[in-house]
Amino acid sequence: MIPNLDVDVMKTFIAIADLGSFARAAEEVNKTQSAVSMQMKRLEETLGRPVFVRDGRQNRLAPDGERLLDYARRIVRLNDEVLTAFTQPELTGVVRLGTPDDYADRFLPEILARFARTHPLVQMDVECRTSPELVDRMRRGKLDLALVSCAAAPTDIQTVRSEHLSWVTSMRHCAHEQEVLPLAVSNSGCEWRRMAIEALEAAGRLYRIAYSSANSNAVNAAVLAGLAVGAVPDLVMRPGMRRLTEAEGFPELGHFDIGLMRGAAKPTGAVDALARHIADSLNTVRPALLQAV
């Protein structure tokens, strides 16, 4: 008979993988370090393979541990979905959610599909706008929740993920080799546009705005067609794009925050539940191109 995997052990394994230490993971899961060690020993005995290797004072994932991590996250997420569906009272109501279209295209369908399975009576109204527009609509009471990009999240925005911004070009074209660099960017006010332009100006690199649109699909199409270079997060890179490096003359762009903004009105249970669901999901989502591998 095939043995069963313990969800509690999976949670401990994920904590060690994320924190790099049995001691820190023990604090996270509220267990003693010896109890954590025993759980991992039993896990390795069950699998018949090592999942960690010692690297100095840290515990690094072994190749089989890397394979297990994605399964472990899915097991824990499904466990939580089942318990939520059967133990929480059914929520109703309407949640007005705002998001840039980059995020709506990349991971919002999966997040909302999982939320709908556990809260089927909640109606979702989704608006796709630029981050500055979403912040403005939130502050005017037009939305209940919004995902926004920002350099450093202000006090009224909860940071849920930090993302690296990368220069990208088409794998099949050479727009990045032009002396005056053609750029495909979003409209004025976009955080990624600001970061790209400031980096080029600081490096003294000549550029021109070749394509500008509030629609991410239009910007990405210009890049993929070889008409311009873009700046996008690793999280939403598209097949057919490749990163440009400092060795190719492209300055480091750095990181920005993805934040979750709530309305000023007292949140309903549905709004709170969706906010928690989005924050938890974004903590584990992987970059698009890595997910496809």
Q: Compare 290 and 283 and report the one with higher pLDDT.
A: 283
Q: Compare 198 and 93 and report the one with higher pLDDT.
A: 198
Q: For residue 212, tell me if it sits in a domain.
A: yes
Is the confidence at residue 293, as pLDDT, over 50? no
Question: In the predicted model, what is the mean pLDDT of the chain?
Answer: 87
Number of domains the chain contains? 3
- Reported confidence tier of residue 185, pLDDT bands at 50, 70, 90: very high
pTM, 2 dp:
0.68
Same domain, yes or no, for 140 and 266? Answer: yes
Same domain, yes or no, for 172 and 246? Answer: yes
* Sign (positive or negative) of CA dihedral 219, 125, 103, 149: positive
Q: For residue 190, tell me if it sits in a domain.
A: yes
Which whole-number Å values give the CA distances from 10 to 29, 43, 65, 91, 261, in the listed order? 11, 9, 11, 29, 31
User: For the domain that residue 191 is a member of, what is the CATH number?
Assistant: 3.40.190.10
Q: For residue 158, tell me if it sits in a domain.
A: no
Q: For residue 36, tell me if it sits in a domain.
A: yes
The pLDDT tens digits for 210-247 are 999 988 889 999 999 999 999 998 888 889 999 999 99
- Give the mean model confidence (pLDDT) for residues 71-90: 80
Is the confidence at residue 291, as pLDDT, over 50? no
Is the confidence at residue 137, as pLDDT, over 50? yes
- Reported confidence tier of residue 290, pLDDT bands at 50, 70, 90: very low
User: For the domain that residue 62 is a member of, what is the CATH number?
Assistant: 1.10.10.10
Same domain, yes or no, for 239 and 188? Answer: yes
- Reported confidence tier of residue 286, pLDDT bands at 50, 70, 90: low
Q: For residue 177, tell me if it sits in a domain.
A: yes
Residue 189: per-residue pLDDT: 81
Q: Which domain holds residue 66?
A: 7-87
Rounded to 5 degrees, what are φ and ψ at 82?
Answer: -60, -50
